[in-house]
Amino acid sequence: MNTNELTKYIKNYLENAKTRSAIMLTGAWGCGKSYYIQNELVPALTDEEENRCVVVSLYGIKSLEALSKSIYLEVRAKAFIKKSESISRAKIIGKTIVKGVASFFGVDINVSEESLNQLYQSIDLTGKLIILEDLERSGLGILEVMGYVNNLVEQDGVKVLLVANEGEIIKYKTKEETVKGVKKEIKKIPTTKTEKYLRIKEKTVSDTKTSSDAKNMLKQITKSKDLPDTNIVNVNVNSIEEVTSFTGLKSNDNIEWIVASEPMMSSQAVLAVAIKVKDGSNVDTIKQEILNNVDMSKWICVTAEKLYLTNNGNVIFFVMSDADWAKTVYDNFKNYVNNDIGKELEKTGN
């Protein structure tokens, strides 16, 4: 599913789905989930009258009351609510959010009907999509967040898109069994915490889509009228020669995949590369090996002026070309991953 198809799917969920459940977008860090939301999904769900998305990051949020406050303030900041609106049966009211906001501000909703109605009037979520990012980085327990979302969708009828890296949530353990006195390892099974997560997810989330299109990421960050035309290719990680040619790495032991954007004309010094390394790999060591060994003169009679290198989690990215082009693409990558990057390295060509 490409990003256009994904946007159509989410829009249909928002406008037509009758099920009282959330949907999820999952993918590894660095695959462009946040970039897609900010640069494709939100604009697609925004018209001249209103922005239909409420985007809130769960990163660092440590209480349900703080989460309710963040959603509430985001709604108000976007000026979703028209002053002329009044409470009606057609209105979707996030009562779960209202209760959390009331608790945060010390409003006793059991006593003050006027205060309760004022909050209700300011939290109409009809036709709105609440997007909760960074599920795996929440300061709250995952199960607590999922219970909150379940209340929103099941009880209040709110539309919610959860954005996560489930690779950081779903964990497995190895179980051994004894067969005729001999221990035999069987396949991995979910941990107890994972089993609880999967149970509440099954109740709360009706569908999960995966975002893992590294080619789309490179296409997005190299797309500009001021940048040369490039081909985006999958590098054969089983070929040491190809791995070395594109990255300078002498081994493919820790590599899951490599995607590269290279020039259509071999006389242009242009290369942008994304490398997914295996979990547990020493990312900084691999980055340093790339910096030391990548060939900045791999083209016909031309040399790249500048190389910029960093990582987002276990996705390493580097670009080398003339100074201006390389800096533009490098900055585009940092924006793509919301500046969630590791150590930055750079090198000047000879």
Q: Tens digits of per-residue pLDDT, 64-118?
A: 888 887 887 777 666 444 444 443 434 444 444 544 444 544 444 444 445 544 5
Of the CA atoms within 13 Å of residue 80, those in its CB half-sphere come to 25
> Which DSSP string corresponds to 159-223?
EEEEEE-GGGT--EEEEEEEETTEEEEEEEEE-HHHHHHHHHHHHHEEEEEE---HHHHHHHHT-
CA dist., res. 167 & res. 26, Å (int): 9
Query: Which of these, 83, 84, 97, lies nearest to 125 by C-alpha position?
Result: 97
244: left (phi over 0), alpha (psi -120 to 50) or beta: alpha
Q: Which residues of the chain have pLDDT under 50?
A: 79-96, 98-102, 104-113, 116-117, 120
Amino acid identity at 329: V
| Overall pTM > 0.85 | no
3-class state of residue 122 by DSSP: coil
Whole-number pLDDT of residue 114: 53
Burial 191-219, CB ≥16 within 10 A → b, else e: eeebeebeebbeebbeeeeebebbbbbbe
Does residue 258 contact residue 284 with C-beta atoms inside 8 Å?
Answer: no
